[in-house]
Amino acid sequence: MDKGLLSQLKDMQHTVADKAHTVADKASDLVGNAMGFLGVRYKRGGNSAETGFDCSGFVRAMYEQTVGLLLPRRADQQAATTTVIDKKELQPGDLVFFNTMRRAFSHVGIYVGDGKFIHSPRSGSEIRVEDMRISYWQRRFDGARRVTPEASAVETSAPAAK
């Protein structure tokens, strides 16, 4: 194999590995940032703290602000473009999906650890932390996903949240 090509392949491997470590390293920043939005009201189609968030808008904003990755807009699209993991493998910052509207992947939240997740639940409510182990969420659980650099729709140059 050409040495130049081999060198390029090694550089690409290091770049992908570095980005994967960046996502993992920022998981605690991501959860901490998300916790700063507790109490922000739900708004269907909402994308900001000023107007309110829906579930996928909240997840998308947290990943963009904290990790610099832009996820797709809808929960089902986020599920389709992220890496499937087993529920037992959940780590803070992973995504958890639920069937809350009689269709798969209709709701998403961010796993925070200890069986809990943060999300923007529904109209008339606000961003909060809930226990996935209660029967309501157990019955509706659709799966867990991990966000990797390759899974994001677009990489942005968003600064990390403070």
Instruction: Based on the residue annotation, tell me whether 119 is a catalytic residue of this protein.
Output: yes
Instruction: Based on the residue annotation, tell me whether 14 is a catalytic residue of this protein.
Output: no
Q: Which of 153, 112, 120, 150 is nearest to 23 (CA)?
A: 150
Reading the block at residue 109, the tokens are 């939240």
Reading the block at residue 97, the tokens are 């999906």
Instruction: Based on the residue annotation, tell me whether 24 is a catalytic residue of this protein.
Output: no
| Catalytic choice (19, 26, 60, 119) | 119
| Catalytic choice (23, 34, 40, 55) | 55
Residues 6+ apart with CB under 8 A from 115: 131, 132, 133
Per the DSSP assignment, residues forming a β-bridge with 52 are 48
Q: How many CA atoms lie within 13 A of 98 on its CB side?
A: 25
Distance CA 133, CA 94 (A): 16
| Catalytic choice (26, 60, 107, 146) | 107
What are the residue numbers of the active site? 55, 107, 119
